[in-house]
Amino acid sequence: MARPPSQSNPTQEAKPKRSNLLRYIAMIILALIILVGIAVIIIWLVLRPKRLEYSVENAAIHNFNLTDANHLYANFDFTIRAYNPNSRVSIYYDTVEVSVLYEDQTLATNAVHPFFQSHKNVTRLHVGLTAQTVTVYESVLKDLRLERSSRDIELDLWMRATIRFKVGVWKSKHRILKIFCSPVLLHFNKHISFQRIPCDVEF
C-alpha cells in the first residue's frame, strides 16, 4: 500500500528562518558595539584627555559685619585659576555658578558670564560675592564671631558649571562640572598674604 506524500509544516520552517534572522541581528549589534568601542579607544589615544585643574589664587573679605539679629553682611572677592591642560580639547562654559559656604550654610552666590576656554589655556575668573543681611544659624553666628576675633576665617568655595567639550568641529553634549575648594583661609589682616588653594574636580 502506497504511503501518502509527506507534507511540510509551515510553522516548523518559519522557526529556523526567524532564529537565523535573530542571530544575524545579534551579530550586527555586537559588531556595532565593537566598532564603537574601537572608535572610542582610538579617540582617547589621539586626544589623551587630561583632568581640568582649578585653584583659588587669591581671596579677600571686606565690610564684614554681624548683627545681634543673626544677620551677616560681607563682601567676598575670589580669583579662581582655571587651567585646561589638553592640547586638542577646548571647553565651552555655558553657565557657571559660584557659592561661598561656611559650615555647610551658603552665605553668598553669584553667576559668572559664559566663556570659552581654548586648549592649553589659563583663564582667571575674578568673582565677587555679597552676603546681604543673610540670616545665619545660632551656632554659625557663634563660630563666625570667634573666627572674626582670631582675624582669620575658613570658608568653602563651590562652583557648578554646565560645559561642553570641543574637538575640531565636533561638540559634546552638556555635562555638569563640580569644583570644590576647601578650606579657603581668608585673612582680615590685609598684610597677610593669601596661600593658593587647590580644588577638587568632579564630572
Q: Residue 196 in contact with residue 56, Cβ under 8 Å?
A: yes
pLDDT at 120: 93
pLDDT at 68: 79
**In terms of Cα–Cα distance, which of 73, 78, 180, 71 is closest to 130?**
73
pLDDT at 23: 84
pLDDT at 10: 56
Amino acid (one-letter) located at 188:
F
- Ordered DSSP codes for the chain: -PPPPP---HHHHHHHHHHHHHHHHHHHHHHHHHHHHHHHHHHHHHH-----EEEEEEEEEEEEEE-TTSEEEEEEEEEEEEEE--SS-EEEEEEEEEEEEETTEEEEEEEE--EEE-TTEEEEEEEEEEEEEEE--HHHHHHHHHHHHHTEEEEEEEEEEEEEEEETTEEPPPEEEEEEEEEEEEESSTTSPPPPEE-EEE-
pTM: 0.76
pLDDT at 44: 60
Q: How high is the mean pLDDT in each 10-residue block of the chain (203 residues)? A: 56 64 87 84 62 95 89 95 93 97 93 95 97 87 88 95 90 93 92 93 89
pLDDT at 14: 56
Domain ranges for the chain = 11-47, 53-202
Q: For 53-202, which CATH class?
A: mainly beta
pLDDT at 21: 81
d(CA 84, CA 201): 12
User: CB-hemisphere CA count at 13 Å for 84?
Assistant: 19
